[in-house]
Chain A
Amino acid sequence: MTGLPSGIKADRSLETRNAFAVDRDTAGSIVPQAVLYPSRFEDVRKIVAWANETATPLVPVSSTGERRRGDTVPMVEAAVMVDLSGMRRLINADTRDKIAIIEPGVDFGSIDELLRPHGLRAFRPLMPRSGKSVIASYLDREPIVNADVHWDPADPFGGTLIVTGGGEITLNGSAALEGSLTEQLDRGHRHLVTYGPGNVDLTRVLQGAQGTLGIMGWAAIYCERLPQVEESIFVASSNLATVVAAMRDAVHQRICTTAFVVDNIHLAMLLGLNVDQANTLPAWTFFATHAGYVHSPEQKVAWQRAALEVIAKKHGADLCHELGGKSADDLAVTLRDPVPANYRDVEFGAHKELFFLHPLSTAKEIIAAQQKHLSSSDLHNCPVGTYIQPLAQGTFLHVERVMPHAAGDDVDAEWTSLAQISLDAGAYYSRPHGVFRQLAFSRDDGSARRMIAAAKTMLDPNNIMNPNRFDAQEAR
């Protein structure tokens, strides 16, 4: 074992290292050799430089609590974990520009408190656990529920600082300016632009890379102003096509700050009900929130609600203020309420997940194909929830199937089979995790592998960042 870089907190205890050898759904067998705790991006750079000199694999991790999906579990021997969870500073926040700059250890459990004095709050995915790193979530292109401002998969990132696997510090987007970050902020720059500069967009490259290309030192993130008025509502139907159509219209008209569709099982999970109670819920529900921030907020929310009523009527969906004994406004609060546990595990202790992208226009067909398979498989009696999140302002969907189950249940084979069926039906696994980590590349015409190899060559030429996470991705 080589010596660790000096001046950076490290932990080599077996207990700590063992904790990183596995995660909730990954039975890893490789124990990292140490865990390093940088406190500033300069430390990260030092670690990466050291790793390049010593050919030490690094696996970055930012979130705390129960990790999943295997992307923070070493896949090679002698790896060192780079635990960024201690980098928890809110560096800047600006109400006027609705943007903040945060470090990777800032998590969903703390961010809204940090932002509150600035009149802001974070865009967040569907009920993230409190220990989930905001930057890690955005880096993994985890969908935010705010389809309205999700213009592009790079959202909600603004400018960023990245330490590449090769040890270079890059300022990205409109953060690429002279001077220290403090000097930049003093001049009035707010790093509002994510793409570029020049001919490359390294923030985008790093997104979805699962720690294989570099480490983000800080990031500007778009935020939502704290609303003065906020109203939520359920738009329900027995028919999936109906609620998807209503959601599409609402998102296209940009009248909802939050918009997603769930089936009764997934809604039950969100509402804290048990699976049996799901039967009392509508088969499909589109959850919508309207918000008024600054200008005549009541009036704004009123016309948006009226517009939603027109949409619901047009598609034959029902508007409900309350479902399962809980109001839509209560659910809106719950969605922002950080809890350590994953809501999907609450009832049975464990869950399987399957998520992919799909065109909005054919959502019904792929769900039908999955349901057909499920009904004829060993899972036919198991509850499988559905969560549909419009992305890029309703250009396409994140579709997520979740099966809560008891911790000891062996459902891997059946779940893998569902993943395969989904792939055949057109699921695009843009974020290769879990049982679809390999499947994600099975339809690739060679392009994705080649581009990943290119990115690896340019950003991580010595293959030190989370090696073996993707097939055929090594630098050449």
Chain B
Amino acid sequence: MSAKTDKGRLTLDPEVRIELENILGARNITDDPALMSGYAWNTGVGKIASSDKFAALWPIAVALPATVEEVAAIVKCCKRHGLSFRPHSTGYGSMGCVTSPDSICIDLRRMKHLEILPEDRMAVIGPYATANQLQAEARKHGLTCHVVGAGPSHSPLASATSLIGVGITSQFTSANMRNMLAWEWVTPEGDIIRGGSAASGLGWYASDGPGPGTRGLLRGFFGAGGGLGVFTRIGIKLYPINQKGKMEVIGKVPQLRSKLPPHTALLHAIFPDYEAQRAATFDLLQDDVCTVLLRMPPDHIGWTLTRTNAEFVQRTKDKTLPEPAILDNGASWTILIASRSEAEHRWRSETVRAIVASHNGRFAEMTQEEEEVLYHNLATSQYVPRVLRASGGITTSFGVLDSFHFLPQAIEMGEKVLAKDTAPGGDLCEGSPDEQWIWPHEGRYMWAENIIHFDPTSEASRAAGARALLTHFADQWKRPLGTTGLLVGPIQDVTGPRIGKAPAFARKVKSYFDKDDRSKTKEYVIPNMPPVVEKVLPAFRPIFAFKPVQSVMAKILAKKGM
């Protein structure tokens, strides 16, 4: 397997090819560079790419398995031949890119299992049952699924097993690390392991046992990130909604709208400041008054309420954007109230209105059409991919998980990081001083992430994005706002005691199941780190937090990508 292409990339050994063809059929394995180019696209949500559109590392082949047995056989084949592999579901952004030159990409596109069990408010899904499909099927039964930030075309299985799992409706749809039920997994050694009730062949509903909740070894906050083999099937919890049947869409592309079902209201509350918003939030979280609470930065609401960037920019200049999209109105909640009866709706509406009024808040004026656009985007989570519309480049940071006590501080810290570069003349895209997306989970705690919006074609803008990202981490080290959810890969190791022993335990998990590091990723902890390095690394935090060092690192990242 030492042969290389003219690009210096490793090639697929003919012997391995024959084995893979025997497993999958010739049509389902390719090492054609053209077909593989889509698996080496260096862009996407969360990434600060280099100026090169293509990743430096390409897979040596892409495999399309259809069954868990085929996945296991591919993994075993990799092991036999000393190759690495990288699972890939929908591949949003470059999360599915390989991270070593000897990796086979396992594209799970053909594993589309989707079965709704309405009475048990759950579904059984494979890696390529996408959220839009799951939602469509669930809605037939008056249910919906949680749709994470990546939007309707993401894989809920990938989200539940491998990558974060929060989403804008988490107030009533929780998050996918909590929605995941029983699971099926191909270990990096190629063994098939099932968890919860599935291990006993008793269905996909129970996530844990018999005995310990061993799923916790594989899935914490962040997820396996491609570093622990391949997840092939899970049970996933669904959520009842106040409407049964297909989602009727009105309006013209791209401003799709949906009529609010009976006993449903979409309100946009604006508060005088963030302290008032915080106080109101604690009230709104009592008694489960609201179905969804979402704070989007005003400019992002503006992108949603305008057809094109051109319209957004023009209306920003003309100052004709609706109230929720005005930058001064950042202390706000978009509130969805979804009730099942008139009496319920009256209680919810009156309560929400009273709470907002008691904290000196008011409700934004919106046209019915604007209301329906926001509702549609909320119900489908189409909001989120639209955030990339302005420039095609975002990354995100903080991921604060804690009490809403920290809401004003989160805003303040977000502003501190972004205000200069998002102001006119700054290196990032112009926008709100902070770009925090905030919402509650399960009526309990706050999620806040600060979106860094940069122009991927500009090195200065990419550097500003990277600088902002690094500043987020450094600021959080100095003044914790709560758990930083978005500590991806090696940044966990640097963060060290801030997240307890989690990186060390993740490394134990990695060593136990994948001692040769065949399941390669940059989105897991650094494998096989000597204990002394593990211990010493966090000591370098002050150096990483030192502004000149950050500036140099940001410049390097802007050139090389991350």
Contacts and interface: CB of A to CB of B under 8 A. Distances in A.
Contacts of B211: 208-210, 212, 431-432, 440, 448, 452, 470, 473
A396 B502 contact: no
Interface in B448-490: 480, 482-483, 485, 487
A202 B215 CA distance: 9
Given A192-B445, A201-B220, A252-B121, A430 B283 contact: no
B512 A454 contact: yes
Interface in B481-510: 482-483, 485, 487, 492, 497-506, 508-509
B401 A193 contact: yes
B483 A177 contact: yes
Contacts of B240: 252-253
A426 interface: yes
Interface string A294-332: 111101101110110010000000000000000000000
A305 to B, nearest CB: 10
A450 to B, nearest CB: 6
A196 B222 contact: yes
A292 B341 CA distance: 17
B287 A176 contact: no
Contacts of A450: 191, 193
Residue from A152, A173, A307 whose CB has the most chain B CB atoms within 10 Å: A152
A394 B500 contact: no
A210 to B, nearest CB: 7
Contact of B225 (A170, A187, A199, A299): A199
Nearest to A166: B508
Interface stretch (A281-289, A344-352, A354-362): A354-362
A430 B206 contact: yes
A202 B221 CA distance: 11
B206 A293 contact: no
Nearest to B117: A361
Interface string B185-225: 00000010111110111110111111111111101111111
B355 interface: yes
A447 B212 CA distance: 12
Contacts of A295: 283, 286-287, 289, 347, 351, 354-355
Contacts of A7: none
A97 interface: yes
Interface stretch (B57-65, B173-181, B386-394, B426-434): B173-181
Interface string A426-437: 111111100000
A359 B120 contact: yes
Given A178-B480, A306-B341, A447-B193, A193 B402 contact: yes
Interface residues of B, number: 92
Nearest to B499: A197
B141 to A, nearest CB: 11
A88 to B, nearest CB: 25
Contacts of B223: 199
B181 to A, nearest CB: 7
B343 A302 contact: yes
A449 to B, nearest CB: 9
B210 A430 contact: yes
B268 interface: no
Given A205-B217, A295-B286, A168 B401 contact: no
A443 B202 contact: yes
Interface residues of A, number: 98
Contacts of A201: 177, 213, 215-216, 219-221
Contacts of A440: 209-211
A448 B27 CA distance: 36
Contacts of B503: 198-199
Nearest to A456: B212
B483 A225 contact: no
Nearest to A461: B508
A295 B286 CA distance: 8
B201 A204 contact: no
A426 B119 CA distance: 17
Interface in A62-118: 94, 96-99
A457 interface: yes
B500 A443 contact: no
Contacts of A202: 216, 505
Contact of A96 (B178, B282, B500, B506): B282
A303 B504 CA distance: 50
Contacts of B405: 96-97, 188, 190
Nearest to A476: B512
Given A294-B287, A306-B343, A431-B209, A198 B193 contact: no
Interface of A: 94, 96-99, 141, 149, 151-154, 168-178, 187-190, 192-193, 195-210, 212-213, 222, 225, 248, 252-254, 292-297, 299-300, 302-304, 306-307, 310, 357, 359-361, 392-396, 426-432, 440-441, 443-445, 447-448, 450-452, 454-455, 457-458, 470, 473
14 contacts: A151-B174, A177-B482, A190-B402, A190-B445, A199-B509, A222-B444, A299-B347, A361-B119, A426-B202, A428-B210, A431-B210, A432-B211, A445-B200, A447-B194
Nearest first, the 4 A-B pairs at minimum CB distance are: A196-B221, A430-B209, A204-B216, A198-B502
Interface of B: 117, 119-122, 174, 177-179, 181, 191, 193-197, 199-203, 205-217, 219-225, 227, 237, 240, 282-283, 286-289, 340-341, 343-344, 346-347, 350-351, 354-355, 401-406, 441-442, 444-445, 480, 482-483, 485, 487, 492, 497-506, 508-509, 512-513, 524-525
